[in-house]
Structures are given as structure tokens and as C-alpha cells.
Amino acid sequence: MIETTHLLDVDDLTAEDLETVLDRAAAIKAGEDDTELYRQTLAMVFEKPSTRTRTSFETAMTRLGGHAIFLGPDDIHLGSGEPVKDTARALAGYSDAIMARLFDHADAEELAAYSDVPVINGLTDDAHPCQTLADLLTIRERFGGFDDVTVAWVGDGNNVAQSFVLGAALADLDLVVATPPEYGIDDDVLERAADLGPTPTLVDDPADAVDGADVVYTDVWVSMGEEDEREEKLAAFEGYQVNDDLLAGSDALVMHCLPAHRGEEITDEVVESDRSIVWQQAENRLHAQAGLLVELLA
Ligand code: CP
Ligand code: NVA
């Protein structure tokens, strides 16, 4: 079993925990692990929309013999009068774990502080650790491990990027990050990554990141909740699109956590190309989270 109680970000895991979760995920995916979470319930709190996170967690709980309850923004009192700490204690009284997709990362920390069952971060403005678990599972499947694999992150230094920086450090994966200077990875995340393993090489020019990369990874430029910054961000990210020109001369695979804004951070041609592994990555959310749930709850 893994050491942590909650997964608020990737650095709640040790390197050994990470390997344990990925091994468990791989075994479940291969049909070689029939551990059950019989009659266990996952409360799923969503302040933002979701296709993959909601469906993969719910499906994982069903396949494991348990149950998941979807609690959308109009379903519960969170955010409209009831403090997070009260929601935490009420939900913890009914369920075996809480998964939450929230705006403010501090709210996820408060949920965990007041919950005596595991809290899993299903995305906050700062972090998306479950995505990183699926990303690392996907890279491991494609390359057989993390040695000699170089990933280029191209685009926004956002929640997905920040958790991936921590995951790359923990997995000892080489990472080059190309962002506009004003949208880089937070210093705090770089410091936390330095405590775990190698920190990413930071560059401004996407071409410098893609040169020599085995995988090119991007995500939307305008994340959920940033709609007011749209014009400003689109201008800042000019030249950062993952397209055939950027990838010319490279045989890198392409990852995207999805949803993709085709025509902005990535082109339709690249998403639909043979180098795209986005569907494997999306499916692996299910397996990675099943592995995590078993490790936290079984
Ligand atoms: N990648 C991801 O978390 O997708 P959803 O927003 O659809 O859950
Ligand atoms: N960075 C994106 C990821 C969506 C899964 C967002 O926060 O909207």
C-alpha cells in the first residue's frame, strides 16, 4: 500500500508510491488484478465541467465493485453558503473517499484537512495529479520505462504542466518546458520538484524544446475559469501551437490531456495524426485511477 492518505498533488507520493500505483494500474488494465472495493463509495464533487475525470472515476468504481456519486455545482451547498470544512465532514461520514474538481487549490487542502477519508484532487487551478498518473502510465507503456525518454511541454505552465513537472521529477524523466516567460511554471512548483528529482529545463522557444524530444505534450491556453483572460493569453501564446511545422523533422509522439482546442494550442491534423497518443492517454485515466483507488482504499 502507498504511504499517503490524500492525493492533492503528485508530491504527496514518494517515488516508490508512484511505481506502486502505476504497477497496480498496469495489472488492473491487463486483467491480472481482481482486487475489489466492494460496497465502497466515492463522492465526486465538481465545481467545473468534466468528460474524462467524471466518467473514468465513476467507471473505475463500478468495475471495482463499488459506487460513485456525482455531485455537480448545482447539487450541493459547496460554494453557496456551506463552508468547505462542513462539506468535508458530511461527505466523509457517508463515503469511503472524496474526489473533488475545484477552482481554488486551498479548498482541496481544506477538504483534506477536515476529511477523515482520502481526498483525491480531480483538478484545481494549480494541479491535476490524476492526469499525471495517466500520462506516466502512457509513457511507460510506450517506452517501457522512463530512462532516456525526453518530454517537451509546449504551451501554458498551467495545472496540468505543474503536476507533470512534479511527476517527471519523481519518475526521473527528462523534461523541457517551453512557455512564454509570463506563463511559466510557478517557482514554488520548481522548488518542490527539486526536492524530488531532476527539474525541467526551461526555454522560451518551442522549437528548442521539441528538438530531441520523444514526446511533445500540450494543453489548452485558456483553462477553465480563465475565460476573461482569453484575448490576452491567445496573443501571448502566438508561436506556441503544436502543428506540423513545429514537428517537422521530429518523430516525437504527441500528448494532450484533452479537451483540445483545435486551431489554438494544437491543430486538428496533429490530434488526428499517427503520432498522437491522446486516446491511449485518455483511456489510461481509468486504469491509473483504478490503481490509485485500490492503493488508497483496499
Ligand atoms: N483531462 C481531463 O481532466 O479531462 P476532463 O476535463 O474531461 O475531465
Ligand atoms: N488546463 C485545463 C485542463 C483541463 C483538463 C483546465 O484547467 O481547464
Which amino acid type is present at position 248? A
pTM over 0.95: yes
Does residue 115 line the site of ligand 2, with CB under 6 A? Answer: no
Among 3.40.50.1370, 3.40.50.720, 3.40.50.300, 3.40.1190.20, name the CATH number for the domain at 10-127+285-297.
Answer: 3.40.50.1370
The residues assigned a catalytic role are 101, 128, 131, 219, 257, 285
Burial 1-34 (b: 16+ CB within 10 A, else e): ebeeebbbbbbbbeeebbbbbbebbbbbbeeebe
Other beta carbons within 10 angstroms of residue 150's beta carbon come to 17
> What is the share, in percent, of the chain residues with pLDDT greater than 90?
98
For the segment 241-259, the average pLDDT, to the nearest whole number, is 98
Q: Which residue has the cell 508530491?
A: 11
State the binding site for carbamoyl phosphate. 50-53, 101, 128-131, 257-258, 285
Please tell me the CATH code under which domain 131-281 is placed. 3.40.50.1370
Ligand 1 centroid, distance to 23 Cα (angstroms): 23
Let me know if the fold of 10-127+285-297 is the same as that of 131-281. Answer: yes
Of the ligands numbered here, which is closest to the C-alpha atom of 220?
2
Give the helix, strand, coil percentages of the chain, each rounded to 5. 45, 15, 40
pLDDT band of residue 80 (cuts 50, 70, 90) is confident
Does residue 220 line the site of ligand 2, with CB under 6 A? Answer: yes
Centroid of chain to Cα 251: 24
Ligand 2 centroid, distance to 135 Cα (angstroms): 14
For the segment 210-238, the average pLDDT, to the nearest whole number, is 98
Q: Rounded to whole angstroms, what are the CA distances from 187 to 37, 165, 193, 246?
A: 39, 12, 10, 27
Of the ligands numbered here, which is closest to the C-alpha atom of 288?
1
Rounded to 5 degrees, φ, ψ at 102 are: -130, 165
pLDDT band of residue 41 (cuts 50, 70, 90) is very high
Report the pLDDT value the prediction gives residue 60, as an integer from 0 to 100: 98
Does residue 69 line the site of ligand 1, with CB under 6 A? Answer: no
What would the grid cell of residue 102 be?
Answer: 475545484
Q: Does an H or E element contain 215, and which?
A: strand 215-218
CA distance 213 to 217: 10
pLDDT band of residue 81 (cuts 50, 70, 90) is confident
CA distance 24 to 32: 9
CA distance 204 to 181: 7
Instruction: Locate the domains of the chain by residue range.
Output: 10-127+285-297, 131-281
Which amino acid type is present at position 103? F
Question: Atom 3, ligand 1: which residue's CA is nearest?
Answer: 53
3-state DSSP call for residue 150? strand
> What is the share, in percent, of the chain residues with pLDDT greater than 70?
100
Residue 79 pLDDT greater than 90, yes or no: no
For the segment 56-65, the average pLDDT, to the nearest whole number, is 98
* Cis geometry, peptide bond prior to residue 259 (ω within 30 degrees of 0): yes
Q: What is the pairing mode between strands 253-256 and 41-46?
A: unpaired
DSSP state of 214: S
Reported as a single tens digit per residue, the pLDDT across 132-182 is 999 999 999 999 999 999 999 999 999 999 999 999 999 999 999 999 999
Report the pLDDT value the prediction gives residue 1, as an integer from 0 to 100: 86
The answer to whether 26 touches 289, Cβ cutoff 8 Å, is no
